[in-house]
Amino acid sequence: MKSLKIIIFVFSSYLCAIVAQAETLVTDLSQHVIEITSQFSGSELLLFGAIERHANESIQTDEIAVQGLDYDIIVVVQSNPTDLVIRKKEKMAGIWVNNEGQIIRNIPGYYVLGSTRSLDEFLSREKQQELGLGLQNLTFTNDDGEELPAYKEALIRNMVERGLYLESSGNVTVKNEILFRANLAFPSNMPVGDYKADVYLVRDGNIIVNHSTDLLVDKRGFERVIYNFAHEYPPFYGIMAVIVAIAAGLFSGFVARKVS
């Protein structure tokens, strides 16, 4: 009798463990490296995956119930956070000039969020804020840890206009509650560096699985040489840039005189 109770307990624990993690995500990208060359004008990647279920309704008992199988997917792609200097423009003597500035810490240079439908339809505002999902839930603070709502609004507006920040819904599709896909667009002015693609599986208002995939955006060829030179020897790069600009101006003037 005691042995039977032990077997029942072990079997029940096994079923509970299965149901506790009733799903896993398998995700991947169509490519893991975006190469920026002189011909680069933007890129588009496919993020795809599948929902693996480890439990189904056939194992449901009076003590163990498998929840509903209606899923939502959230996809967030962002670059590694960096520090940005934001300056406020003011009009002085009829001229717009940069005035007061703030250093904003740990801000992604690229942030795109997509989902099966609007986040408010399946995820509470509190949960969105807790996980930092959505442009308005990004944290903008200075060295003192102070929130900067005015700078935050201006930066988001600027990044959206440049195509570096985007939040949309309905662009993640799920087929047969198993397969999902999302097309990701990257503009030509995207920053280089390490990126991360996070996929969240949501059911009944709760995020039950999260999976991350790495992505690298890197300059290649002649662009990499120029990029390295500019970062390793900034004074010389500045001097060369001025010389090239002067030479281009002189050459343009010479050609204009010859043509005329």
End-to-end CA distance of the chain: 108
The confidence score (pLDDT) of residue 70 equals: 76
Could you tell me which of 211, 172, 176 has the C-alpha nearest to residue 73? Answer: 172
Contact 163, 157 (CB under 8 A): no
Q: How many angstroms separate the CA atoms of 130 and 124, rounded?
A: 10
% of the chain with per-residue pLDDT over 70:
73
The confidence score (pLDDT) of residue 232 equals: 65
Contact 75, 182 (CB under 8 A): yes
The confidence score (pLDDT) of residue 237 equals: 64
Q: Would you state the structure tokens that stand for residue 188, as one six-digit string?
A: 């030509």
Residues 53-66 as b or e (16 or more Cβ within 10 Å = b): eebeeeeeeeeeeb
The confidence score (pLDDT) of residue 11 equals: 41
Residue type, 242: V
Q: How many angstroms separate the CA atoms of 153 and 88, rounded?
A: 12
Q: Would you state the structure tokens that stand for residue 180, as one six-digit string?
A: 């999902």
217 half-sphere exposure, CB direction, 13 A CA radius: 23
- Show pLDDT as tens, one digit a residue, over the chain (260 residues): 544 443 444 344 434 444 445 678 889 999 999 888 877 888 898 999 998 876 544 434 434 333 445 789 999 999 999 888 877 766 666 676 666 777 888 889 999 999 999 999 999 999 999 999 999 998 888 877 787 787 888 889 999 999 999 999 999 988 877 889 999 889 989 998 999 999 999 988 899 889 999 999 987 655 555 656 566 667 766 777 778 778 777 777 767 776 66
Q: Is the pTM higher than 0.75?
A: no
Q: How many angstroms separate the CA atoms of 115 and 134, rounded?
A: 11
Q: With left for phi above 0 and alpha for psi between -120 and 50, is residue 79 left, alpha or beta?
A: beta
Q: Which CATH class is domain 2-219?
A: mainly beta
Contact 188, 219 (CB under 8 A): no
Contact 77, 171 (CB under 8 A): no
Cα separations (Å) of 90 from 84, 99, 100? 19, 6, 9
The confidence score (pLDDT) of residue 229 equals: 55
Cα separations (Å) of 162 from 97, 112, 154? 21, 13, 12
Could you tell me which of 27, 25, 12, 15 has the C-alpha nearest to residue 56? Answer: 15
Bridge partners (DSSP) of residue 43 are 186
Q: What are the structural domain ranges in the chain?
A: 2-219, 221-252
The confidence score (pLDDT) of residue 39 equals: 79
The confidence score (pLDDT) of residue 260 equals: 64
Q: How many angstroms separate the CA atoms of 68 and 203, rounded?
A: 8
The confidence score (pLDDT) of residue 140 equals: 83
